[in-house]
Structure 1
Amino acid sequence: MGTGRRARGRGVTTAGALLAALLTAGLAAGCTASNGPGDDGRGSPRTSHPAGTDEGRGGDRPPVLAVKIDNAPAARPQTGLEAADVVYAEQVEGGLSRLMAVYAARLPGSVGPVRSVREADLELLRQFDRPVLAFSGAQGRLLPLIDRAPLEPLTPGTSGTKEGVYVRDTARSAPHDLFLRPGRLMDGPPGRASLTTGFRTGPPPPGGEPASTRTVRYPAARFTFDWSGARGRWLVSLDGAPAVTPGGEPVAPATVVVQYVTVRPSGYHDSRGNNTPYTETVGSGRAVVLRDGRAHDVRWSRPDASEGTAFTTDDGTAVHFARGQVWVVYAEAA
């Protein structure tokens, strides 16, 4: 995975050029909510900035694809999670959770169910070079922030110039029925060099404690990771049920990061009046890195939103992750 400060420039790649054409259709957005109006991706279109403008991305590096994914029980099994390079888990309204999957090394055939964006996602994604963000909609007051953010927003409204980028699964009920087909959007994966997260792969840090399981709890959701020595991976469970692909294969990252952060109220609410939590991903604090059946207590640091997140031991030595998928679960610091 990529490391260090992201480069800035004005390059437009093949994927970026294709995306620029798609974005001329405008951004459809509505109200953010667990099941609020507009969260299904239907809304009034508006124009977005084309790819390659503003500060752009570094050189010829294509953008990663980030997708907001539903994590309600009715949304499972999700599609495309197993292909993501990084999966972020964050708290949303009512103590529930949503996922954001980031794709660079490969693109799955389908990703979803796709759901709405939150304010904190804009800060989280600034560590990537102008990523493509696929989501179903957004609260009206959030639209100006999305428009100013250094990313390319992609909703069903922006895909109107190319048929089939978003599809509805008639076997699922709304709002858990919207899926993205990345192959209709990009002509290939952007590559690992686009992962400007600050994550490093390599040998594990010394020490650590043997760990067979780890659970992170939100007020109304929980994530459990069980070590499988046979697979050399952590098996994911969501609210007590194994996370699997539609074909029944387990979702199993190589590294899990439990990152302790500040979770505070934001200025936004869903349609039921529940406040939208804001997860602060800029700053520093403690984290636990799970890899190779061991748990390592480490420090995380991201001094600026345009930087990736660095993980170090107490003496400042960089912490390496195992090669393979990474899950980052944001947990509220005590």
Structure 2
Amino acid sequence: MVKGVRPGARRAIAVLVLAAAVLVTAACQSSPPEPTEAPTPSAEPRPVGTSQPVAVSFSPLRGTTTDPAAPAHPSLAVKIDDHEEARPQIALNRTDLVFEELVEGGITRYIAVWHSDVPDSVGPVRSIRPMDPDIVTPLGGIIAYSGGQDQFVAMMMATPLKNIVFDYDDTGLFHRADERPGPHDVILRSKEAVGRNAKLDPPPVQFAYGTADPLADPALKAAPTSKIALVFSDARNPSWDWDAGTSSWLRSQEGRADTQEGGERVRATNVVTMRVGIDWRYGEVPKTVMVGSGEVWVSSAGRTAHGTWKKDSQAAPIVLTADDGSPLRLAPGNTWIELVPKSGSVKFAP
């Protein structure tokens, strides 16, 4: 008995003491929870991917991505006729590069270059001119033409390129197309020509390439351009119109839409316009002066930037430099190089 505590209070204390005793007893009789074991690390290795990295290569004359094995063959340069009776030409939109040059009579001819996409046939094929060795030597590979003056053929034969000449060919690489008027009817079996010479080296890179809009840098001061108007002579005034829907320049000649065989409009991703001198040492046959330097405009993605071109030797590539001293880059795709005489004119419309 606890002294000094009332009987009611003593009963309450006793109840509390009894409850505490019950709780202590229950706690002592409960088993502690068993410890949880940590998961055993799996002995199996982590899964890894089985695919190998994909190699990426670039077409040397287009700057477009391609399978690494695809460029492992030579380029094919062909002298292509641009007489009115030679149109429409075959497979111009599958070219990597096209050079347009002045020839006698004020008309123009092309050196068209196929590498990344060689068609079965190209043409019409015409004769060589004195500036052509300077144009094609940096490419290496194959040059095909119908013939030419002996002195011009000798100049081309002196280059490292494999010469395939209609006048001398007895292997069946050329044929005449019955549906075309002569002499604008010589057709080359282009894929076969490349296949027969597949061990020749592929071409080296000729131009610097950038993004799809390579002239966007404000430092280049590229002007918006909707139309390029060129005059080679009284007989030739080609032009190009920018088509945003196809991201390409669409070609016209003498004010009429220019089409290739099959009706497709001739087009280009880039148009490079070079002002060039003309050497008249060969009488009525003009020689475009390719070794030297001059004014240039690069038109791509609806813009045109100004700069200079330079070519140090016959074997050297053409180098394009912007007015601020930086490289003038092209968009990945096909390119036309317009070799406009200084006696002609060049205009760009916004």
TM-score bin (small chain): 0.7 to 0.9
Deviations 1:42-84 (A, max 9, x none): xxxxxxxxxxxxxxxxxx9643110000101111110021111
212, 223, 234: which one aligns with 2:226: 212
Q: Alpha-carbon deviation of 1:122?
A: 0.9
SS at match of 2:79: strand
Q: Greater CA deviation, 142-151 or 106-115?
A: 142-151
Deviations 1:137-178 (A, max 9, x none): 1112333323322222111244423x3x21111011100111
State the TM-score, normalized to the length of structure 1: 0.75
Letter in 2 for 1:139: Q
State the TM-score, normalized to the length of structure 2: 0.72
Letter in 2 for 1:82: N
The residue number in structure 1 matching 2:261 is 246
Letter in 1 for 2:311: R
The residue number in structure 2 matching 1:37 is none
Once the two structures are superposed, the pairs formed by residues 1-334 of structure 1 within 5 Å of their partners are: 2=60, 62-129=73-140, 131-161=141-171, 163=172, 165-187=173-195, 194-196=202-204, 198-203=206-211, 204-205=214-215, 206=217, 207-219=221-233, 220-267=235-282, 269=283, 275-333=284-342
Partners in 1 of 2:317 and 2:205 — Cα distance? Answer: 4
Larger radius of gyration: 2
Task: Judging by fraction of residues, say which structure has more helix.
Answer: 2
Q: Alpha-carbon deviation of 1:323?
A: 1.1
Partners in 2 of 1:222 and 1:189 — Cα distance? Answer: 37
Gaps of 5+ in 2: 1-58, 62-70, 344-350
Q: Alpha-carbon deviation of 1:290?
A: 0.7
Partners in 1 of 2:318 and 2:197 — Cα distance? Answer: 23
Partners in 1 of 2:319 and 2:293 — Cα distance? Answer: 9
Gaps of 5+ in 1: 4-59, 270-274
Partners in 1 of 2:196 and 2:225 — Cα distance? Answer: 37
The count of residues paired between Structure 1 and Structure 2 equals: 268
Letter in 2 for 1:73: E
Deviations 1:267-308 (A, max 9, x none): 2x5xxxxx1111011111110111011111111111122111
Q: Alpha-carbon deviation of 1:327?
A: 0.2
Deviations 1:192-232 (A, max 9, x none): x9343531111313231111001111221111000001110
The residue number in structure 2 matching 1:36 is none
Report 1 or 2 for greater relative contact order, CA contacts < 8 Å, sequence distance ≥ 6.
Answer: 1
Q: Does the 8 A contact of 2:132 with 2:156 survive in 1?
A: no
Partners in 2 of 1:189 and 1:232 — Cα distance? Answer: 34
Q: Does the 8 A contact of 1:104 with 1:189 survive in 2?
A: no
Partners in 1 of 2:130 and 2:309 — Cα distance? Answer: 22
Partners in 2 of 1:306 and 1:225 — Cα distance? Answer: 30
Supply the RMSD in Å over aligned alpha carbons: 2.2
Partners in 2 of 1:197 and 1:221 — Cα distance? Answer: 30
Partners in 1 of 2:278 and 2:185 — Cα distance? Answer: 29
Partners in 2 of 1:312 and 1:179 — Cα distance? Answer: 37
Letter in 1 for 2:240: F
